[in-house]
Amino acid sequence: MLPYFQFTQIPLGPITIQVWGLLVATGLLLGTWMSARRAKQQGFDPKLVWDFAFWTFLAAFLGARIFHVLFYDLGHYLANPIDAINPALPGFSVIGGFIGASLTVIYLIRKHKLPFYKFADVAIFGLPFGLAIGRLGCFMIHDHPGVPCVSNPLCIIYPDGIARHDHGLYLSILGAIIAIIFLILGRKPHNPGFFLSLFIIIYSSVRFFLDFYRAIDIRYFHLTPTQWLLIPLVIFGVWMMVKINTAKSNKE
């Protein structure tokens, strides 16, 4: 098992850098760079990716906050509405961020009249790289402690002496694994939509089971709000992958 350590701030003279924010920002930059690199390989202008990035990230943060407010702690925010719009306070849901970012990318693709699935593959290509780095920030500050565990070598021995799963560590590893899969499969051509559907299937199915290890999330009928949303996402991803493979078979 892994020992507990916490790395929250980097003091630089009069300036204090928050480790979580630094790693999330680094993840966003890395993810955008990987998507821009992929765009060039696929015949798109990489500048499009960087142009889309600002609005996509803004929508992601707004979506992450709105989803958390509505489904994770609505009672608190109804009693303290100012907290809902205070970006300094914790409370962001990655799945809400995905929704906000996805809606924005869909709008921008259609606005610029780009081939939808081909460019969607470019946009999603950098996401697992960003998740691998950004989720390290969650791990460093341990803001997602899990339920107690017994023999998992990746469990963290918390200061109270209890070994627990750490959601941030698991999701960082998941992002890294998907990133490696993308790098390997990205060497060969695939039908448009392949990487989009593959990401949805892998991330959604694994994340669904990982959420059972979360310790403090609100649950509706034994499932977290994120898990309820992941169920139709997995179905959609499988449907898309079948559609892509069917189209490929018809061409052959």
Q: Can you give the pTM of this predicted structure?
A: 0.89
Span 161-186, mean pLDDT?
A: 95
pLDDT, tens digit, 9 for 90 and up, residues 13-53: 888 888 888 999 999 999 999 999 999 999 999 999 999 99
The answer to whether residue 250 scores a pLDDT higher than 60 is no
Q: Tell me which H or E stretch contains 164.
A: strand 163-166
pLDDT (tens digit, 9 = 90+) per residue, 108-128?
999 999 999 999 999 999 999
Question: What DSSP letter does each residue of 127-150 carry, written as one string?
Answer: HHHHHHHHHHHHHHHT-SEEEE-S
Residue 87 has pLDDT above 80, yes or no: no
Using left for φ > 0, alpha for ψ between -120 and 50, and beta otherwise, residue 155 falls in beta
Q: How far is CA 43 from CA 37, 100, 114, 118, in A?
A: 10, 26, 12, 10
Q: Alpha-carbon distance 174 to 131, whole Å?
A: 8
Torsion of CA 237, 239, 240, 241, to 10 degrees: 90
The pLDDT value recorded for residue 55 is 93
The domain in which residue 39 lies consists of 2-251
H or E segment and range at residue 156: strand 156-157
Contact 147, 215 (CB under 8 A): yes
Domain count, the chain: 1
For residue 252, name the pLDDT band (cuts at 50, 70, 90). Answer: very low
